[in-house]
A = this chain, B = another copy of it.
Amino acid sequence: MIDARLITLRVFARCGTIGATAELTGYSPSAVSAQLRELQRVLGMQLLTKDGRGVRLTATGRFLVAGSDPLIAQWESLRAAAMEAGDQVQLHFGLGGFSTAAAQLLAPLAATLRSTRPLLEVQVLEADPARCFDLLIAERIDLAVIVAMQSDTYGEDDPRFEQTVLLDDPLDVIIPGDHPLASRETATLEELASEPWITAGAGSTYHSLFTAAFTAIGVTPRIAHEAVEWETHIAFVGAGLGVGLLPRLAPLQGAENVVRLRITGKAKPTRRIVAAVRRGSIASPLIQESLGILQVNANRILSARLEDDL
């Protein structure tokens, strides 16, 4: 119910460029440009200034964007309360998440919702955590399952979101089958410190997890290779190119010549998996139900592990 042009402005405040805003919102750059111009006209405010070859928010623009956070939250909250009060049915629901989460948590959620709410059209978008937040701002999705990250752009207590912890997913090490430690059940990071490591590209979510794990024990690992998909990681390890970290949730699915070991010792790196929604919307019955389903699934995974560990 908040004017779409204001949403566009908020997305622009995140992206900084018209082009990126267009990509994120699904409009063309011309449309974004025209929308923002129109917004300035109806409000009688100058929100943008030319800045080099791009445009930049004015002080007024930044003020408006910052001030609109509580407005959005209040609307979400009102909408949620009305849905709750009226026992109404929602007809569209956008979910976002990264690959493993999408597979392990979002897919079952979507399936369950499809059966409990036949009228609901569920849409799942695979996207990395940062983009998930962007998509939440752009109102392209309503709920995201992501790896918690303390990036410089989105904090845990960002006024635009509310986050709920789903589960802590520990990282295992994967090593080649012919590695000296391959017959072990567990290993410490220190034991593997001098190995050639395979990691994700700098800037990705996993890279920061990776470096955090090693700075915790005061070691700078030697990075031999970079891979994007877990499947590639595993293949690299299987080819004997080095060792790597693999989240417990990511399946090893019959890989040749790769062994997975639990990490013990002081540094036990984990990734925290959280659900994020726009602030205010958490009271919505659909969100509540979804969070419940996610939590149940997360607990199922956790208890399966406990049995596994016995």
**Considering only CB atoms, which chain B residue lies closest to A70 in the complex?**
B74
- Contact status B67-A82, CB under 8 Å: yes
**Min C-beta distance of A178 to chain B, whole Å:** 58
- Contact status A44-B3, CB under 8 Å: no
**Considering only CB atoms, which chain B residue lies closest to A9 in the complex?**
B1
Known contacts A2-B1, A74-B74: does B88 contact A67 (CB below 8 Å)?
no
**Min C-beta distance of A233 to chain B, whole Å:** 42
**Min C-beta distance of A118 to chain B, whole Å:** 14
A6 within 8 Å of B (CB atoms): yes
**Min C-beta distance of A64 to chain B, whole Å:** 5
CA distance A81 to B90 in the complex (A): 34
A91 within 8 Å of B (CB atoms): yes
Which of A2, A44, A58, A60 has its CB near the most chain B CB atoms (within 10 A)? Answer: A44
Within 8 A of B (CB), among A205-231: none
A297 within 8 Å of B (CB atoms): no
A46 within 8 Å of B (CB atoms): yes
Chain A residues within 8 Å of B, Cβ to Cβ:
1-3, 5-6, 43-46, 58-60, 63-64, 67-68, 70-71, 74-75, 78-79, 81-83, 85-86, 88-92
Query: 10 A-B Cβ contacts within 8 A?
Result: A2-B2, A44-B90, A45-B88, A46-B86, A60-B82, A63-B81, A64-B78, A67-B81, A67-B82, A70-B74
